[in-house]
Amino acid sequence: MRADWQRLHRIFHRTLIAACGSEWLIRFHDLLYDQMIRYRSLAGAFQLDLRRNVRREHAAIVDAVIARDPDAAAAAIETHYMTTANLLVEVTALRDEQPG
């Protein structure tokens, strides 16, 4: 289940930028996405996704894209990415504080 979700999640985010016309941007996106997955896995952050509503975050992105509202789409994506980034920072800090 987790592997299927990860595969579909990658496709979702890649689809958002697929029509940008910049191979460089797409490669950069893929590189950043791979690093995010790596750090999430290392930090054990997947367990903390239960504290957020990823489905709602994705729905906000989709709604803005379908409405062709670039400002709302950018804001929704930024919120989604920053929520992930903040989660990684939090988890990493908690792990660093643990004795061991």
Q: Is 55 exposed, middle or buried (0-12, 13-18, 19+ CB in 10 A)?
A: exposed
Q: Which two tokens stand for residue 92?
A: 């990493």
- Prediction pTM value: 0.79
Give the chain's domain count. Answer: 1
Query: Does 53 fall in a domain?
Result: yes
Residue 35 domain-assigned (yes or no): yes
Domain of residue 82: give its range. Answer: 24-92
pLDDT in tens, 43-84: 565 666 667 888 999 999 999 999 999 999 999 999 998 988
Within a domain: residue 99? no
* Mean per-residue pLDDT over the chain, rounded: 85
For residue 42, being part of any structural domain is answered with yes
Q: Which residues contact 33 (CB under 8 A, 6 or more apart)?
A: 10, 13, 14
Q: Is residue 56 part of a domain?
A: yes
DSSP-based three-state secondary structure for 93: helix
Q: How far apart are CA 96 and CA 100, in angstroms?
A: 9
